[in-house]
C-alpha cells in the first residue's frame, strides 16, 4: 500500500501522506511514493487546486528516526560516500521541494498535529497553509548538528523569525505561526478539513488559465529574488555540514555520541530538552 497517494476529487486533487502510525515520518520508501504522487498530480490537470494533507493526528514528524540510509536522522559516519553522490542526494532533496513550490497549479497544505523537519519544509512549499489550532511547527536540525534545508522560510517570515525558528529549533504554536506569517490561518481542529475544502473550491471557481498565469508570475518574482539560488546554496552548505559533523566543542550537545551510547530515543530526548529552554 502506498505511503503517499494521490486522490482526484474534481475539481480538486489531494496528495495524502499515509503513514499515520509513525507520525508520517519520512524514509526512502515514503519519498519514492511522494515523488510518484507528485508526478501523478502534475498529469491530473482536471484538478485546479491540489491539497496536501495527512492521515492520523500528525502531518509529518520529519525524518524516520529508525531508518538507515541517506535520509536517516543520523547518517552512518562509517559509510564513505563519494562527494558527487552526496552532493546529488542533497540537491535531489531540494529539487523535490522546489518542484512542489513551483507546481503548476495552486497548492494548499492542511496541517494538524506535529509539522517538523521535512514536514515543515514540505508544508512551507505550499502556496497556502491552513493549520488546526493544536498544530506545532519546528525544525530541530541544528541541535542534531545538521542544517535546516528550507531557505524559502526567510522569504515567508523575514530574517528575524527565520533566525528564531532555525537557530533555536523551538516549537511554534499554530497561533504564533499565524501571527508571524508562517501559515495563513489557524482554525479549530474539527473545522480544518471543511475550511480547506471550502477555500479550495472557491479558488477553483476562477479560470484555470488565470490561476496558472497568476501562479507563474508570483513564482517568477520569487525566482528573481533569489529563491532558486538559495536552494542550491543550501544543498552545498548541507553537504559541507555533513563533512564537518562531530567537530564539537566542550559542553555542546553531541547528538551522535548520545545515540551511540544510550540509543536514539535518549538522544532525541536530549535534543528536545534543549528546545524547552525557549518555552
Q: Please report whether residue 77 resides in a domain.
A: yes
Which cell goes with 125? 512549499
Query: Distance between CA 41 and CA 53 in Å, rounded?
Result: 14
Domain count of the fold of the chain: 1
pLDDT tops 70 at residue 244: no
The per-residue pLDDT for range 11-45, each reduced to its tens digit, is 999 999 999 999 999 988 898 899 999 999 999 98
The per-residue pLDDT for range 133-157, each reduced to its tens digit, is 999 999 988 777 777 778 888 999 9
What percent of the chain has pLDDT above 70?
86
Q: Please report whether residue 9 resides in a domain.
A: yes
Average pLDDT over residues 221-246: 74
CB distance 60 to 17 below 8 Å: yes
Q: Please report whether residue 230 resides in a domain.
A: yes
Task: Select the more confidently predicted residue: 41 or 262.
Answer: 41
The mean-pLDDT minimum among 9-23, 67-81, 224-238, 248-262 falls in 67-81
- pLDDT score recorded for residue 226: 83
Task: Select the more confidently predicted residue: 266 or 119.
Answer: 119
Q: Please report whether residue 244 resides in a domain.
A: yes
Residue 240 is part of a domain; what is its CATH number?
A: 3.90.226.10
Tell me the residue range of the domain where 254 lies.
4-189+214-276
SS3 26: strand
- pLDDT score recorded for residue 175: 97
Q: Please report whether residue 206 resides in a domain.
A: no
Q: Please report whether residue 165 resides in a domain.
A: yes
* pLDDT, the chain, mean: 86
* Confidence band, pLDDT 50/70/90 cuts, at residue 70: very low
Instruction: Locate all alpha helices (DSSP H) within the chain, ordered by sequence.
Output: 28-43, 83-101, 118-124, 152-157, 159-168, 174-180, 192-203, 208-224, 227-243, 255-262, 264-276
pLDDT tops 50 at residue 173: yes
Q: Please report whether residue 232 resides in a domain.
A: yes
Q: Please report whether residue 200 resides in a domain.
A: no
The per-residue pLDDT for range 55-64, each reduced to its tens digit, is 999 999 998 8
Task: Select the more confidently predicted residue: 226 or 260.
Answer: 226
pLDDT tops 90 at residue 274: no
Amino acid at each position: 500500500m502506498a505511503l503517499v497517494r494521490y486522490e482526484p476529487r474534481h475539481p480538486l486533487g489531494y496528495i495524502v501522506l499515509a503513514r499515520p502510525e509513525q507520525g508520517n515520518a519520512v524514509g526512502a520508501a515514503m519519498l519514492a511514493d511522494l515523488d510518484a504522487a507528485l508526478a501523478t498530480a502534475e498529469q491530473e490537470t482536471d484538478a485546479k487546486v491540489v491539497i496536501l494533507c495527512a492521515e492520523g493526528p500528525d502531518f509529518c514528524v520529519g525524518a524516520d528516526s529508525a531508518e538507515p540510509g541517506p535520509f536517516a536522522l543520523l547518517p552512518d559516519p562509517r559509510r564513505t560516500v563519494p562527494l558527487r553522490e552526496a552532493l546529488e542526494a542533497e540537491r535531489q532533496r531540494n529539487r523535490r521541494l522546489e518542484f512542489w513550490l513551483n507546481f503548476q497549479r495552486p497548492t494548499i497544505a492542511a496541517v494538524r498535529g506535529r509539522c517538523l523537519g521535512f514536514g515543515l519544509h514540505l508544508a512551507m512549499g505550499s502556496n497556502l497553509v491552513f493549520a488546526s489550532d493544536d498544530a506545532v511547527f519546528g525544525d530541530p536540525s541544528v541541535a542534531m548538528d545538521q542544517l535546516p534545508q528550507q531557505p524559502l522560510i526567510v522569504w515567508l517570515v523575514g530574517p528575524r523569525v527565520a533566525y528564531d525558528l532555525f537557530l533555536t529549533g523551538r516549537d511554534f504554536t499554530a497561533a504564533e505561526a499565524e501571527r508571524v506569517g508562517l501559515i495563513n490561518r489557524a482554525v479549530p481542529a474539527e473545522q480544518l478539513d471543511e475550511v480547506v475544502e471550502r477555500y479550495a473550491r472557491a479558488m477553483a471557481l476562477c479560470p484555470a488559465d488565470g490561476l496558472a498565469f497568476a501562479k507563474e508570475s508570483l513564482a517568477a518574482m520569487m525566482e528573481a529574488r533569489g529563491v532558486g539560488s538559495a536552494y542550491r546554496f543550501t544543498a552545498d552548505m548541507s553537504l559541507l555540514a555533513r563533512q564537518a559533523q562531530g567537530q564539537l566543542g566542550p559542553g555542546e550537545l553531541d547528538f551522535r555520541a548520545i545515540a551511540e551510547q544510550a540509543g536514539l530515543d535518549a538522544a532525541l530526548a536530549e535534543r528536545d530538552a534543549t528546545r524547552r529552554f525557549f518555552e
